[in-house]
DNA sequence: ATAAATGTTAAGAA
DNA sequence: CTTCTTAACATTTA
């Protein structure tokens, strides 16, 4: 279920386990012997991926659409795909894809592409967008190589805020709109993070899952769009469709 | 009850 | 060998 900011929240909630030895188990088909009993160096997030970093390997957890987790609790009736037990508590992950990664996370990932990372690089994102002029705006925002951590909610909210129609061509966007796309993807991901922490995200959504446009009050469109085939909520009056 | 949803990946087709 | 499309996966909510 989570987009990038939710993984950041998970990561931060686990701070008290960092530096401690973990007993690792679960139903995921990984080589537990490689990590169990070892000390967790850090909990990290890259985009929608949750990373448990050890000295020379890492566990990568992706929660896909339906995944969930509990800290110091277990979910009734579910077998954890991954459990990390510490002397002072535990983490249980459910319905997620789990893999072991070899090597250094700082070389495995390009952190400049993660909207939640301090290393986020807007100029690089603009460059990557310029390299995909035929893509639709709705697909570009979901492209994890350009905007790691952006999911469908952030996509819809960003396009609404910058008044760009989801089917606009990236290559047809005026310079200012392309800049706004990159700026807002970053800014809104952080806004999402704050609202999620405060428990007020849903009430603050302007387009996603809404029926009417909060700006002009006409009915919002709901269409499944793009190569990504995800739901797009948008206002056909406020949001301009830039075509070739 | 059936569908749809904050998503990705592997396999198969072209 | 690429590149594209489809299916599979999994859980909760409407």
- In this prediction, residue A77 carries a pLDDT of 83
Contact A232, A156 (CB under 8 A): yes
**Reported pTM:** 0.95
Q: Inform me whether the pLDDT recorded for A143 exceeds 80.
A: yes
**What angle, 0 to 180 degrees and rounded to 10, lies between the N-to-C axes of helices A175-198 and A4-13?**
40
Torsion region of A84: left, alpha or beta (phi above 0 gives left; psi -120 to 50 gives alpha): beta
Q: Inform me whether the pLDDT recorded for A59 exceeds 70.
A: yes
What pLDDT band is residue A1 in, cutting at 50, 70 and 90? Answer: low
What pLDDT band is residue A66 in, cutting at 50, 70 and 90? Answer: confident
Q: How far is the CA of A231 from the C1' of B14 (A)?
A: 27
How far is residue A244's CA from residue A230's CA, in Å, rounded to a whole number?
A: 22
Nucleotide nearest to A148 (CA to C1'): B7
Mean pLDDT on A23-34? 92
Q: How far is the CA of A141 from the C1' of B8 (A)?
A: 16
What pLDDT band is residue A2 in, cutting at 50, 70 and 90? Answer: confident
Beta bridge partners of A89: A86
- In this prediction, residue A103 carries a pLDDT of 87
Encode pLDDT of A158-210 as tens digits.
999 999 999 999 999 999 999 999 999 999 999 999 999 998 999 999 999 99
- In this prediction, residue A153 carries a pLDDT of 94
Q: Inform me whether the pLDDT recorded for A244 exceeds 90.
A: no
Encode pLDDT of A90-132 as tens digits.
999 999 999 999 889 998 899 999 999 999 999 999 999 999 9
Nucleotide nearest to A208 (CA to C1'): B6
**Sign of torsion, CA A120 A126 A132 A135?**
positive
- In this prediction, residue A78 carries a pLDDT of 87
Q: How far is the CA of A214 from the C1' of B10 (A)?
A: 41
Mean pLDDT of chain A: 93
Q: How far is the CA of A228 from the C1' of C7 (A)?
A: 15
Pair of tokens at residue A138: 């709705």
């Amino acid at each position: 279920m989570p987009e990038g900011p939710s993984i950041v929240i998970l990561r931060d909630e686990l701070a008290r386990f960092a530096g401690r030895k973990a007993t690792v188990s679960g139903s995921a088909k990984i080589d537990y012997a490689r990590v169990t009993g070892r000390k967790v160096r850090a909990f990290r997030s890259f985009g929608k991926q949750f990373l448990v970093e050890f000295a020379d390997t890492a566990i990568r957890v992706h929660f896909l659409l339906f995944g969930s987790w509990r800290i110091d609790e277990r979910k009734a009736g579910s077998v954890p795909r991954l459990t990390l037990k510490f002397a002072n508590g535990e983490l249980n992950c459910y319905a997620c894809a789990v893999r072991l990664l070899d090597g250094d996370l700082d070389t495995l990932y390009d952190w400049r592409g993660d909207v939640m990372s301090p290393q986020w690089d807007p100029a690089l994102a603009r460059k990557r967008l310029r390299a995909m002029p035929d893509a639709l705006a709705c697909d570009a925002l979901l492209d994890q190589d350009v905007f790691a951590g952006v999911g469908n909610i952030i996509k819809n909210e960003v396009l609404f805020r910058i008044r760009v129609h989801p089917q606009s061509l990236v290559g047809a966007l005026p310079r200012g709109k392309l800049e706004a796309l990159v700026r807002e993807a970053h800014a809104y991901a952080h806004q999402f993070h704050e609202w999620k922490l405060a428990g007020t995200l849903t009430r603050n959504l302007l387009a996603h899952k809404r029926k009417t446009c909060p700006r002009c009050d006409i009915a919002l469109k709901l269409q499944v769009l793009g190569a990504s085939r995800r739901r797009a909520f948008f206002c056909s009056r406020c949001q301009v469709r830039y075509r070739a």
